Every structure is written in C-alpha cells, then in structure tokens.
Amino acid sequence: MSWISTTFTSSLGKKFIVALTGLFLCSFLMVHCGINSLIFLNDGGLAFNAGAEFMITNPVIKLMEYVLFLGLIAHIVQTLMLAYQNKKARPVEYHTSNGAANSKWYSRSMTLLGTLILIFLILHLSHFWASKVTGHLAASGETMFEEMKEVFENLWVVIIYVLAQGALGYHLLHGFQSAHQTLGLNHVKYNGLIKGVGTVLAVVLPVLFAAMPIVIYLGIIK
Amino acid sequence: MSEKHINIKLKVWRQKNKSASGKMEDYSLSGVSTDMSFLEMMDTLNEKLTKENKEPVAFDHDCREGICGMCSMHINGRPHGPLKGVTTCQLHMRSFNDGDTIVVEPWRASAFPVLRDLVVDRTSFDRIQHAGGFISINTGAAPDANAIPVPKVNADEAFLAAQCIGCGACVAACKNSSAMLFTSAKVSQYALLPQGQAERSRRVEAMVAQMDKEGFGACTNTGACSAECPKEISISHIARLNRDYIAAKSSSEAV
Ligand code: SF4
Ligand code: FES
C-alpha cells in the first residue's frame, strides 16, 4: 500500500477527512443561512429570490454543489466506518457506565445527532431541492420564496424543522471544536477563539434557521 | 477525618478465564473501615471468600501507591472510581457511604481481553510502546546531565506527558475504547525533547499503526480520557500526536 492509502485508511486519516469535510459543511451552512436570512428583510422575498437565483445559476456555485455533495457523502461514509470500528472495539458493554461524570452527552452522541440531521436533510431536500432538479420550480413559474411559504404552511413541517435545528446546534457545538482538535489545532493562543466561534455558530445558525419556518408560519414574514 | 465502619454491597464481575463467559456476582461486607484503601477492601472480601472456600476475586495491583498503573477497576461506572486524578489503589473507602452498592468491573475493550475476573491483558499497550516509544542510542556510560540543553518549559511539558503510567483508564473511559491519550503521551514525551527528534516521524507512524492494529477505537474528542486519567494527562497531547502524524505522513521517508 502506498503512503497515501495507508494514511487515509488509518483511524487518524479517516478522522482528518471527517474533520475537514465537517468544517467545509460549516462554511456551507454559513452561506446558506446568510442567503436565507434575507427573508427577514420582509420585502416579499425580493432579496431572497435574487440571492437564490444567483446560487442556482452561478457556474462556480453549481460546481460547488457537487463538491458539497461529495463532502457530505465523505463525512457520512467515514463517520459510519469509524462508528462501526468503535463499536467493535468494545464487544462487551459495561454493566454500569457513568459517562456524565467525564464528558458531555452531545459529545458522546455525535452519530445519533448526525443521523437525525441526515433524516432531516432528506426531508429538506425533498422539499426544496427536488423541485429545482426536476425542473418543477421553473415550469410552475413559482419563486423560491413562494415555495418556501407553501412548505411552511404545514405545522408539522415547521415543528420538524425547528427540532432538527436542535440536533444541528449540538452537533456543531461539539463538531467545530472537535474538528480543530483532530487537525491538531490546539494552542493556548487560539483555543478560546475556536471555542467561542464554535459556540456562536452552534447557537446563531440553528436559531436563525429555526426562526425561518416559524415567522413564515405565523405570517410575520409575508 | 475519623475512622468509621460501613456496611457495603458489592457487585463484582466474575469470569473464570479468557474464553469463559462471566457474570456479575453479589457480595456483602460489613464493618469496612473507611480508612481502608479500595484494594484493602477487596483483600478483605477475598479473605472472606477464602474462608468460605470460595474462589477469591482476581485483580491486578502492584505498587499500591499510584505509580505502577497495574490496578485497573471500573468502579460505579468510572475507571478508578469517583475521585479525580486518583488510581484505584489510592482510593479510600471514605469515598463511600454506609449501605452503598458498589459495582466493580474490569476494563472493557477488545484490545484488553479479560483474563480472569477483574484482570485484563494490557500487553497491547506494550506493543504500541515497542513499536516506537523509545530512542535508539548507544547507551555506554551515563552522559553528562547538561550535555544537551533543554529549555525548562519543554522539559516540564515532556514530564507531564511522561507521567502516564499505562494504566488504561483512558481506554476504559472512552466510549470508543480509543488509546489516543496513552499513545499521545508516549509520543509527546519524546517529541518535546531534543533526543526524540531523530526518530520523531518514524515513531509516530509506527505507534499509530500499531494502535490501529490492536483494535482500539478512533478518538471522537469527548475528553472522557483526560477527565478520568489518574495522571490528568491533557488532550493537548492528542492534538500534538495529530499534528505529528500529519507532518510525518506528508514528509517522512517511509513511502
Ligand atoms: S494516559 Fe492516563 S489513563 Fe491513559 S494509560 Fe496513561 S495514565 Fe492511564
Ligand atoms: S497498584 Fe500501582 S498504581 Fe495502583
């Protein structure tokens, strides 16, 4: 085996991929959240539609969409492989285990939180991405904002979207810091910053995302 | 603190040998002095079992002063019990109350197979160490202490890493049974000193490869290891291991 394959099949190599793709997905979330937050301007979706139009038609962004899916798949596949390996590393469970004494519950539940996010993501893509790919959106002449209002008419959808943001928040709260640690970025000068940025992201992104379906459902944003 | 005597119940993992399937067994002990160490309490239990013509509980121990790393009990859901920075042998019965039920289990990891009762095989740690946890020099006569100047801060940090006693609590505490804290401590103690530089890349590559081969899980940075480590080894050593591994893999001569 060459050094490249030994590196990326080692436990550390797999983790580097999870960390790098995780941080990449964070950057996507920031862009996504930024553009969607344009709805809060309450201008009938004008600015938001323009932003969405740019994201759909810009060739660089189109290319990034493929990179994004590749990144997402790599993040999931690598984590599942690691989770399987980790499960195998303890064939007999403890009779009594007090994890709360030494670590945070969300740090120990990243696979579960990630799975919840994935389930949400499938639903989310079926709501907003499928109509774009099938050309339904273009054919119906509907704007992204109109489609958004339609989807968020349903109370259940709103509830699921809001709950999913809770999972995302805790996933980020551990994930952002953890990715830096995995890449070896642990240094007294920057640890505070990494922790701070991670916490801000874990709060601000989910809160904004969760606010979107709520304000639309309540008719605050029209 | 004045001595008290307490009555306790114990749930202890009993397993005849490596291939046998074990189970938890209940015992009770009365009049346990709170001045006893946890291992002395286990000795008392074993005396009682011997008198009853029962097989005593096998457990590892050696120095009984917190420096050898042999004692290895998972007590009430935590490696080395409830106290921070303390090995099982340094834990005392005053940390428990009258009427408590105390659950005692062996470390659980496929890389630490149970040999008997609470005794596990930790030679996987030895093999990680043998893979690269050394420096290759002609020893000869003892060199002059200050022949190679080492800044005090580096020496201190290296000594913090070198405090690891190889007890395995980090693996036992980790939900992934990862040996990253141990391996990172053993890599760091050389990476921080001038003597360790010549073999720095080779060392980290070989030790990580051996760690994976032994079947330890992958670290997800929960921090449980460091919180339970009796020597309070910091996870900043894990970050150093990660850095050294990236650097070694991308620049070492081993292709
Ligand atoms: S790092 Fe700590 S817990 Fe792990 S083997 Fe060393 S001393 Fe024990
Ligand atoms: S018996 Fe040596 S550290 Fe506990």
**A205's tokens:** 């992104």
Cα B122 from Cα B129, distance rounded (Å): 12
pLDDT digits (tens, 9 = 90+) for B206-247: 999 999 999 999 999 999 999 999 999 999 999 999 999 999
Residue with tokens 């070198």: B162
Q: Is B68 in the pocket of ligand 2 (CB under 6 A)?
A: yes
Q: Is B230 in the pocket of ligand 2 (CB under 6 A)?
A: no
In the prediction, which pLDDT does A1 show? 62
Q: Best of B70, B74, B80, B163 to mutate for ligand 2, by most ligand atoms within 8 A of CB?
A: B70
Q: Do A89 and B246 touch (CB under 8 A)?
A: no
Cα A164 from Cα A169, distance rounded (Å): 9
Q: Is B71 in the pocket of ligand 2 (CB under 6 A)?
A: yes
Contact status, residue A205 vs residue A175, Cβ threshold 8 Å: no
In the prediction, which pLDDT does A10 show? 93
pLDDT digits (tens, 9 = 90+) for B146-194: 888 899 999 999 999 999 999 999 999 999 999 999 999 999 999 999 9
Contact status, residue A132 vs residue A151, Cβ threshold 8 Å: no
Work out whether strand B5-14 and strand B23-33 pair parallel, antiparallel, or are unpaired: antiparallel
B1 pLDDT higher than 70: no
Q: Do A94 and B105 touch (CB under 8 A)?
A: yes
* pLDDT tens for chain A, residues 1 to 222: 688 888 888 999 999 999 999 999 999 999 999 999 999 999 999 999 999 989 888 999 989 999 999 999 999 999 999 999 999 999 999 999 999 999 999 999 999 999 999 999 999 999 988 877 777 777 777 888 999 999 999 999 999 999 999 999 999 999 999 999 999 999 999 999 999 999 999 999 999 999 999 999 999 988
Contact status, residue B99 vs residue B8, Cβ threshold 8 Å: yes
* Vertex A70: Cα angle to A67 and A73 (nearest 5): 150
Average pLDDT over every residue of B71-92: 97
Q: Is B166 in the pocket of ligand 2 (CB under 6 A)?
A: no
Q: Is the CB of B117 inside 8 Å of chain A's CB atoms?
A: no
Cα A113 from Cα A168, distance rounded (Å): 7
Percent of chain A past pLDDT 90, that is, above it, reads: 83
Cα A108 from Cα A209, distance rounded (Å): 24
Q: Is the CB of B178 inside 8 Å of chain A's CB atoms?
A: yes
Residue with tokens 């030790």: B207
Atom of ligand 2 nearest to the CA of B87: 4
B141 pLDDT higher than 90: no
pLDDT digits (tens, 9 = 90+) for B11-65: 999 999 999 999 999 999 999 999 999 999 999 999 999 999 999 999 999 999 9
Cα B28 from Cα B46, distance rounded (Å): 12
**ipTM attached to this prediction:** 0.92
For the beta carbon of residue B87, count every other beta carbon within 10 angstroms: 30
Atom of ligand 2 nearest to the CA of B68: 2
Cα B240 from Cα B242, distance rounded (Å): 5
